[in-house]
Amino acid sequence: MKKTANIVKYLLLLAVSIFLMAYALRSINFAAVKTELSQANFFWIGVTLLLSVAGYVSRAIRWRMQYTPVGYQPSFWQVYHAQMVGYLANIVLPRAGEVIRCTILRRTASVPVNVSLGTVITERILDLVILVSCIGATFLLEFDRLNEFFLQIFSDKYQGLQQNLETLYLLIGVVLLGTFFVVWYIYKNISRLQHNRHFQKVSQFVKGLWQGIFSIRKMDQKGQFLLHTAFVWLSYFLTSYLAFFVLPGTSHLSWQAGMTIFVMGGIGMSAPVQGGIGVYHILVRTALLLYAVPLDKGMAYALIVHATGAILVVVLGVISLVASLGAKKKEAVLVSQPA
């Protein structure tokens, strides 16, 4: 039953991706897109791919740093391969890669899945904060252009939300009431539950998850962690900006335009569809219109940046998958936890 549900979920998300991609390609002059792509500068494609690889390496180093405070020390390659397999899985089934990379690391380095999930949650929260900060900074830099853009995107949704406020309040109330009931039940029956085998398993899982989430608090190398975080996001920005020089239709754009496309692309890639397909293309091509880039040339940019990035993830992900499956399972290397 669970397998059938996963297949249905995958097919539905795939259908959404296909629909969005078809929508993105409507009214596109394919001959013009082909002409633009035929003039691509492969030197700059190579530069953006190298930057992407550097970002993946830095992100793997950053993720590995989160394990020492919780008593584990997987090798760089174990962490890197798990990460890239997770990215590969996200192309097939959005967000499944977060769990799969934790499972891979358990197999290759014997790190508990709940601890790894905790570190991933912390990583994602940090990334979300940075993305929101970048959106805010970009909005300030390009207020005149982006003000109208965001209003057009969210005005209809805001009006729809106003019309359904009662339903929203009811849903929030039900969630809060349910949470209160669960907490109250556990508090009243804690002595009996502590002897329950299933409750003990859940408690251990939550404890490991909590350790992973707060791993940064006990980290000795917080400065290096922040430097890697800054480099990862700098590599994302530079990949978007330097990709302008790949095509003649975008080679004249400024770094401010690069910030706009960087955040729009980030929002698109965060969408719960396979690899951001369709959503990324719609947001990027529309944002480029703000800088007087014709729709066809904007679509050419979105296609080449998204396609090269996806191909890179597939190649590196497959290599990491083969390496992970071929690796012998190792016992976890435990280190003393900081006080």
Residue 330 confidence (pLDDT): 61
DSSP tag of 183 = H
Partners of residue 72 on adjacent β-strands: 334
Tokens 């992100």 sit on residue: 59
Residues 21, 310 contacting (CB under 8 angstroms): no
pLDDT for 165: 56
Q: What is the structure's pLDDT at 319?
A: 94
The answer to whether the CB of 318 falls within 8 A of the CB of 89 is no
Q: Considering only CA atoms, which of 50, 89, 46, 43 is closest in space to residue 314?
A: 89
pLDDT at 339: 47
Distance of CA 97 to the CA centre of its chain: 10
Locate 75 and state its tokens: 């090798």
**pLDDT (tens place) for every residue of the chain, 339 residues total:** 556 665 665 566 667 667 666 666 677 777 878 888 899 999 999 999 999 999 999 999 999 988 888 888 899 999 999 999 999 988 877 778 888 999 999 989 888 888 888 888 888 888 888 988 998 888 888 877 777 666 665 555 555 555 555 665 677 777 778 777 766 766 666 666 555 665 555 555 555 555 556 566 677 788 898 899 999 999 999 999 999 999 999 999 999 999 999 999 988 888 777 777 888 888 898 899 889 899 889 899 999 999 999 999 999 999 999 998 887 766 555 555 554
**Residues forming a β-bridge with 334:** 72
Query: Within 10 A of 261 (CB to CB), how many other CB atoms are there?
Result: 30
Query: Taking the CA of residue 24 as centre, how many other CA atoms within 13 Å lie in the half-sphere pointing to its CB?
Result: 27
Residue 293's contacts (CB-CB under 8 Å, 6 or more residues apart) are 249, 250, 253, 301
pLDDT of residue 231: 96
